[in-house]
Amino acid sequence: MTVLLGIDLGDRRIGVATGDTATGSVRPLLTLRRGTSSEDAAAIGRICAEQRVEAVVVGLPLNMDGSESTQSERTRSWVSEIAPRLQLPVTLRDERRTSEEAEARLGQAPRGRSGGPPSAHARTSWRARVDREAAAGIVQRELDALGPEVSR
């Protein structure tokens, strides 16, 4: 059994999920607020220790045609800064459409109490949930790529 940690890296938040290669199960875990790369690495390192993670997979934001984007470069840079601190294997996985798929699974953000737009807090909470679900999608793609040796 290998526990994977999936990361959906954003400019403000980091969605985190876990996956288990023995069972094929995936679970959205939490959403972190982005900090410095040192702060991010420390927070992710604590989660890896708590969850007994053996490998990390980070979503790589590619353009729809598969080419790299400015955000891809930022993600690669962030990974190069935190990977040595984690002392775990870190891989990148195409994350195209994971956020849209997460939003489709969750449905629209809840309306405000009076039926109007959601409050700033409700909107932020919903976005954090989408980030966790997107991270779960990244882990699922990694499990799928590992093939039939992963139980389903």
Cβ neighbors of 54 (< 8 A, separation 6 or more) are 2, 3, 4, 88, 89
pLDDT tens-digit readout, 29-82: 999 999 999 999 999 999 999 999 999 999 999 888 989 999 999 999 999 999
What confidence score (pLDDT) does residue 112 get? Answer: 63
Give the model's confidence band at 1: pLDDT under 50 very low, under 70 low, under 90 confident, else very high.
low
**Domains defined along the chain, listed by start:** 3-149 (3.30.420.140)
Least-confidence region, from 2-11, 18-27, 106-115? 106-115
Helix axes 70-86, 37-51, angle to 10 degrees: 60
This prediction's pTM: 0.85
Q: Is the pLDDT of residue 152 over 60?
A: no
**Residue 87 φ/ψ region, left for φ over 0, alpha for ψ in the -120 to 50 degree band, beta for the rest:** left
Of 28, 34, 44, 30, the C-alpha closest to 101 is 28
